[in-house]
């Protein structure tokens, strides 16, 4: 029961009692005042549980934050009642009929218990999961009732130390505090957790939306990923030095294997550098962009324009000399191949018919798709080449033009400081379809 009295009437009665006490002095007068005070306190008791439950139900049905705010009481005095998170709860319960049924039913079961009916809780509900519940507080002279709000604690765990974490815009973890922090007490609701950490080549950010509802433990672990993006590094030579944004590092590809954290907005470039018998060579600069997962830092097989021209001239000489040698039947014309290629040429001459003619017209050499390795104590290049020529290898002996695709392999002679042609194999159309499309295709026309 919750008796109600008129406030003005109670104030007036108290003043009369005080006046009477002053006039009458003595123990009897003090007793009378005490009686008035006790009676007044009893009349000033808070709402009874039935009224609290009714107001909660009305707040839920009407989605009324103001009404809910009037009857809630935090379980932890350090937890401030926040209207936004009250609204989170009402929004959630409005959208989920089962959740609404659970809360309203359990409050009614609690009410029955407080009134002495001790109705058992249904098995399908768990009172410990309720973020809002009927709260009873035992007073000296009377009991009070409200809607209790259970506190939550957020255990934030960043993947890396030295970062910053914010909860709803408020900084809760600084770089000096390590990577673990317990935040709370917090109201049930939705929270935005933002983590960030500055690295030499990236600003790593991670944002999480965290819902603190219906958790029996009251502590939720939130993992903030500040690892960032790493790209795999590859080179045919493990001792290739890594260059970042044009500045050499003291690390090799073999030592790093993965590079990062790194921004993927194209602001970072990677290169490889290594010393070879012909000089120091670098790979092309490669930007780390959105979908970059790995970067090949194998240096180019030449240190400068002169080294590139040596490779191009060797390949062009191969096709011109080979055609002349076959047409003339004279293998001595061919001077750019190794012993294996010379043997192959002799076999080709023996198989060709008399009267065969060949005129070399030009090549297209795809320097974008060079495969550069070290095999059997030799530096080895494999380069796609298109060869354009005329020949009369047909039934009516007329000259016809033809373009063929070949994979030409060169091996470097460290003593002679030159490249030798080691093999030339045919590329079928389906094998060559990904070649000869980039800016690194070098076209030569023979005169």
Residues 139, 184 within the same domain: no
SS3 sequence of 368-398: HHCEEEEECCEEEEEEEEEEEEEECCCCCCC
The verdict on residue 2 lying in a domain is: no
Residue with tokens 């010379």: 342
The verdict on residue 276 lying in a domain is: yes
Residues 288, 347 within the same domain: no
Q: Which residues does residue 173 pair with via DSSP β-bridges, in sequence order?
A: 165
Residues 143, 215 within the same domain: no
Q: What is the pLDDT of residue 37?
A: 40
Q: What is the pLDDT of residue 32?
A: 38
Strands 294-296, 231-234: pairing is parallel
Which stretches of 118-259 are DSSP H helices? 253-256
Residues 255, 312 within the same domain: no
pTM: 0.72
Residues 379, 410 within the same domain: yes
pLDDT at 362 over 70: yes
Tell me if 228 sits within 8 A of 267, measured CB to CB. Answer: no
Mean per-residue pLDDT for 280-284?
95
Q: Is 390 exposed, middle or buried (0-12, 13-18, 19+ CB in 10 A)?
A: middle
Please identify, among 131, 149, 167, the residue that sits at the C-terminal boundary of a domain: 149
Q: Return the minimum-mean-pLDDT range out of 105-119, 372-386, 414-428, 432-446.
A: 105-119
**R_g of the chain, CA atoms, integer Å:** 43
- Joined together, the tokens standing for residue 207 give 């944002």
Query: In the chain, what percentage of residues exceed pLDDT 70?
Result: 86
Q: What is the pLDDT of residue 118?
A: 58
Residues 12, 132 within the same domain: no
The verdict on residue 327 lying in a domain is: yes
Instruction: Characterize 94-104 residue by residue with b for buried, 16 or more Cβ atoms within 10 angstroms of its Cβ, and e for exposed.
Output: eeeeebbebbb
CA distances from 119 to 42, 105, 108, 143, 336 (A): 28, 11, 9, 21, 100
Instruction: State the Cα–Cα distance between residues 48 and 2, nearest whole angstrom.
Output: 6
The verdict on residue 309 lying in a domain is: yes
Q: Specify the 3-state DSSP secondary structure of 150.
A: coil
Instruction: State the Cα–Cα distance between residues 177 and 352, nearest whole angstrom.
Output: 81
User: With bands split at pLDDT 50, 70 and 90, how would you rate the model's confidence at 143?
Assistant: confident
- Joined together, the tokens standing for residue 123 give 């098995």
Q: CATH number for the domain including 367?
A: 3.10.450
The verdict on residue 122 lying in a domain is: yes
Total tally of structural domains belonging to the chain:
5
- Joined together, the tokens standing for residue 343 give 């043997």
The verdict on residue 1 lying in a domain is: no
Residue 354 DSSP symbol? T
Query: In degrees rounded to 5, what are phi and psi of residue 392?
Result: -120, 30
Q: Return the minimum-mean-pLDDT range out of 19-23, 181-185, 295-299.
A: 19-23
Q: Return the minimum-mean-pLDDT range out of 212-216, 238-242, 386-390, 416-420.
A: 212-216
Residues 58, 34 within the same domain: no
Q: Which residues does residue 412 pair with via DSSP β-bridges, in sequence order?
A: 419
Provide the Cα torsion 229, 232, 238, 239; round to 10°.
Answer: -30
Instruction: Characterize 61-72 residue by residue with b for buried, 16 or more Cβ atoms within 10 angstroms of its Cβ, and e for exposed.
Output: eeeebebbeebb
Mean per-residue pLDDT for 168-185?
95
pLDDT at 412 over 80: yes
Mean per-residue pLDDT for 231-254?
96
pLDDT in tens, 259-276: 999 999 999 999 999 999
Nearest to 339 by CA among 420, 224, 435: 420
Q: What is the pLDDT of residue 41?
A: 38
The verdict on residue 121 lying in a domain is: yes
Q: What is the pLDDT of residue 120?
A: 52
Q: Specify the 3-state DSSP secondary structure of 366.
A: strand
Please identify, among 112, 127, 149, the residue that sits at the C-terminal boundary of a domain: 149
Q: What is the largest CA-CA distance in the chain?
A: 149
Please identify, among 127, 149, 171, the residue that sits at the C-terminal boundary of a domain: 149
Query: Where in the sequence is the domain holding 211, given as residue range(s)?
Result: 152-224
Tell me if 136 sits within 8 A of 143, measured CB to CB. Answer: yes
pLDDT in tens, 75-132: 999 999 999 999 999 999 999 998 898 889 888 888 887 777 655 555 444 666 789 9
Instruction: State the Cα–Cα distance between residues 179 and 203, nearest whole angstrom.
Output: 17
The verdict on residue 97 lying in a domain is: yes
Mean per-residue pLDDT for 162-180?
96
Strands 164-167, 152-158: pairing is unpaired
**Residue 447: how many CB atoms within 10 A of its CB?**
4
Q: What is the pLDDT of residue 106?
A: 87
Query: In degrees rounded to 5, what are phi and psi of residue 227?
Result: -70, -40
Residues 87, 166 within the same domain: no
Residues 240, 350 within the same domain: no
Residues 57, 132 within the same domain: yes
pLDDT in tens, 330-361: 999 999 999 999 999 999 999 887 888 999 99
Q: What is the pLDDT of residue 152?
A: 96
User: With bands split at pLDDT 50, 70 and 90, how would you rate the model's confidence at 395?
Assistant: low
Q: Which residues contact 343 (CB under 8 A, 6 or more apart)?
A: none
**What does the mean pLDDT of the chain come to?**
87
Residues 362, 409 within the same domain: yes
Mean per-residue pLDDT for 281-294?
95
pLDDT in tens, 20-52: 344 444 443 333 334 344 444 333 334 688 999
Tell me if 446 sits within 8 A of 320, measured CB to CB. Answer: yes
Residues 115, 84 within the same domain: yes
Q: Which long-range contacts (CB under 8 A, 24 or more apart) does 74-78 make?
A: 74/148, 74/149, 74/151, 74/185, 74/187, 75/135, 75/148, 75/149, 75/150, 75/151, 76/151, 76/185, 78/185
Residue 296 DSSP symbol? E
Strands (E), 235-377: 241-244, 247-252, 258-259, 269-276, 279-282, 286-287, 294-296, 358-366, 371-375
């Amino acid at each position: 029961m919750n008796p109600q009295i008129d406030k003005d009437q109670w104030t007036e009665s108290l003043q009369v009692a005080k006046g009477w006490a002053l006039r009458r002095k003595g123990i009897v007068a003090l007793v009378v005042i005490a009686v008035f005070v006790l009676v007044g306190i009893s009349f000033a008791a808070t709402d009874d549980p039935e009224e609290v439950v009714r107001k909660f139900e009305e707040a839920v049905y009407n989605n009324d934050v103001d009404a809910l705010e009037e009857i809630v009481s935090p379980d932890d005095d350090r937890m401030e009642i926040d209207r936004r998170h009250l609204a989170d709860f009402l929004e959630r319960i409005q959208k989920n009929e089962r959740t609404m049924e659970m809360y309203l039913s359990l409050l009614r079961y609690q009410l029955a218990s407080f009134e002495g009916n001790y109705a058992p809780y249904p098995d399908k509900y768990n009172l410990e999961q309720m973020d809002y519940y009927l709260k009873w507080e035992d007073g000296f002279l009377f009991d009070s009732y409200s809607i209790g709000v259970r506190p939550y604690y957020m255990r934030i765990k960043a993947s890396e130390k030295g970062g910053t974490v914010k909860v709803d815009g408020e900084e809760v973890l600084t770089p000096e505090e390590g990577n673990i922090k317990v935040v709370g007490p917090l109201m049930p609701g939705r929270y935005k957790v933002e983590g960030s950490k500055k690295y030499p080549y990236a600003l790593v950010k991670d944002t999480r939306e965290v819902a603190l509802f219906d958790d029996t433990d009251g502590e939720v672990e939130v993992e903030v990923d500040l690892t960032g993006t790493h790209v795999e590094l590859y080179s045919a030579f493990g001792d290739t030095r890594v260059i970042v944004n044009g500045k050499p590092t003291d690390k090799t590809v073999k030592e790093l294997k993965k590079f990062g954290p790194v921004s993927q907005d194209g602001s970072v470039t990677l290169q490889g550098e290594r010393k070879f018998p012909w000089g120091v060579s670098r790979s092309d600069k490669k930007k780390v962009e959105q979908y970059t997962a790995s970067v090949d830092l194998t240096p180019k097989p030449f240190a400068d324009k002169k080294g590139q021209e040596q490779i191009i001239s060797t390949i062009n000489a191969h096709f011109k000399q080979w055609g002349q040698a076959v047409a003339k039947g004279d293998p001595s014309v061919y001077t750019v191949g190794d012993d294996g290629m010379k043997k192959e040429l002799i076999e080709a001459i023996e198989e060709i018919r008399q009267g065969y003619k060949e005129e070399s017209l030009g090549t297209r050499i795809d320097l974008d798709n060079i495969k550069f390795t070290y095999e059997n104590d030799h530096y080895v290049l494999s380069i796609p080449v298109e060869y354009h020529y005329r020949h009369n290898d047909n039934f009516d002996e007329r000259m016809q033009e033809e373009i063929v695709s070949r994979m030409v392999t060169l091996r470097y002679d460290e003593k002679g400081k030159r490249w030798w042609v080691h093999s030339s194999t045919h590329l079928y159309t389906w094998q060559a379809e990904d070649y000869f499309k980039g800016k690194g295709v070098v076209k030569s026309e023979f005169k």
